[in-house]
Amino acid sequence: MSGTPGTTGRLEKVVVPVLPYVETFELGVACEVFGFDRSDDGLPTYDFHLVAATSDPVRTRFGYTIEVPHRLDLLDDADLILLPAVNSDGIALDDGRLEPLFAKLRAAVDRGARVASMCTGAFILGAAGLLDRRRCTTHWLHADRLARTYPTAQVDRDVLYVDDHPVLTAAGTAAGIDLCLHIVRSAQGAQVANTIARRMVVPPHRDGGQAQYVAMPLPECKDESLAPLLDWMSEHLDRELPVATLAQKAHMSARTFARRFVAEVGVTPARWLRDQRVLAAQRLLEETDLPIDVVADRVGFGTAAVLRQHFLRLRQTTPQAYRRTFRRSVEPVGV
């Protein structure tokens, strides 16, 4: 991934080419994030269009068709072209009918417009020649096939999305939401993305947030018995929380607690705490003007140096750089 994460690029006109055998969840994500009028919350509205990728009827995996105009000229001045997932077993990418779309995608990249895919939409980018020597991702079920089909693509199987500007790719299903919110955040700032996320009742950014590429989110607790403890830990990040203290609160021995935590949450208590403290620091960096050392103390890292160490590990950037990118006003957008 080249470049530095930041608030860059106009985001006004969004066009979604709809291919045969489109997956309706990812199509719905594109419509929800960019096609919904949230001007009552003081949010920007987008010049949003669905267009048929070919002149053929747009048939979904589930058998019904979607009527959308075949207007590929709308891609010529789009700021974002967003490709939903497709049933790649049901569509031939080399039969020539998609070449006009491929040409439009290449032209968009050449002029610097964002071109993004969700899940198996990455195969469309690959067929257009846009994944050559680029870092990218797709659903883990299809990652090996993507790598075999496009051997010069640098397929990362372990991330939610990749921003190799101006080409962006997301992993499967819900990762499309993460990617769309990342695009909004990168172009229009944290407050806009956070308010859209709040309206959608989803996290504004999962583990990895604004980094150039996002690590897999921490697994949620599978056992409801640990959920209250996780909530309590989240509310007391500024405290020293050794395993012995946590085990006592969970009414377990330290050894049993540590083993149970890893089995149910997927990481050690120390790792979970470090990552949650970074997330808490992000919120303070976005929403307040507190000095970095105060932020570090409030989230339990103690010193700015320790915060910086863990911020770099998880976010690929420094707290200061993150604040410069995402700090706007402490006044909330909308309600």
Tell me the domain boundaries of the chain.
13-215, 218-335
Both tokens of 180, joined, read 């769309």
Question: What 8-state DSSP symbol labels residue 42?
Answer: T
Question: What 8-state DSSP symbol labels residue 217?
Answer: P
Q: What percent of the chain has pLDDT over 70?
A: 87
Q: What percent of the chain has pLDDT over 90?
A: 59
Tens of pLDDT, residues 292-302: 999 999 999 99
Confidence bin at 267 (pLDDT 50/70/90): confident
What is the distance between the alpha carbons of residues 233 and 241, in angstroms, rounded to a whole number? 8
| Mean pLDDT computed over 7-19 | 88
Confidence bin at 327 (pLDDT 50/70/90): low
Question: CA-based angle 280:29:315, to the nearest 5?
Answer: 30
Q: 226 to each of 74, 250, 261, 330, how far by Cα in Å?
A: 51, 8, 8, 34
Confidence bin at 263 (pLDDT 50/70/90): confident
Q: Which of 61-65, 124-128, 287-291 has the highest mean pLDDT?
A: 124-128
Q: Does domain 218-335 have CATH number 3.20.20.70?
A: no
3-state secondary structure 170-184: ECCCCHHHHHHHHHH
Both tokens of 152, joined, read 């010069």
| Mean pLDDT computed over 116-125 | 96
| Mean pLDDT computed over 312-335 | 68
What is the distance between the alpha carbons of residues 297 and 290, in angstroms, rounded to a whole number? 11
- Of 103-107, 177-181, 197-201, 328-332, which range is least confident? 328-332
Q: 293 to each of 109, 114, 162, 273, 284, how far by Cα in Å?
A: 41, 36, 31, 18, 12
- Of 166-180, 219-233, 258-272, which range is least confident? 219-233
pLDDT number for residue 88: 67
Q: Does domain 13-215 have CATH number 3.40.50.880?
A: yes
pLDDT number for residue 100: 96
| Mean pLDDT computed over 186-210 | 76
Tens of pLDDT, residues 65-109: 999 999 999 999 999 999 999 986 667 787 788 999 999 999 999
Question: What 8-state DSSP symbol labels residue 209?
Answer: T
Say if CB 31 and CB 25 are below 8 A apart.
no
Q: What is the mean pLDDT of the chain?
A: 86
What is the distance between the alpha carbons of residues 200 and 180, in angstroms, rounded to a whole number? 12
| Mean pLDDT computed over 230-241 | 90
| Mean pLDDT computed over 128-152 | 94
33 Cβ neighbours under 8 A, 6+ residues apart: 177, 180, 181, 184, 196, 200
Residue for token digits 């309590």? Answer: 232
pLDDT number for residue 90: 61
What is the distance between the alpha carbons of residues 177 and 181, in angstroms, rounded to a whole number? 6
pLDDT at 49 over 90: yes
Both tokens of 61, joined, read 């995996």
Q: What sections of the chain are H helices per DSSP?
A: 24-34, 99-110, 122-127, 143-149, 175-188, 190-200, 227-235, 243-249, 254-265, 269-287, 292-298, 304-315, 319-326
At residue 150, what is the residue type? Answer: Y
Q: Which has more confidence, 62 or 334?
A: 62
133 Cβ neighbours under 8 A, 6+ residues apart: 152, 153, 154
Closest C-alpha to 181, from 154, 162, 209? 209
pLDDT at 329 over 50: no
Q: 188 to each of 142, 193, 290, how far by Cα in Å?
A: 31, 8, 23
Q: Could you tell me the pTM of the whole model?
A: 0.64
User: Strand, helix or coil at 129?
Assistant: coil
| Mean pLDDT computed over 318-335 | 64
Q: 90 to each of 21, 54, 147, 151, how far by Cα in Å?
A: 6, 15, 19, 22
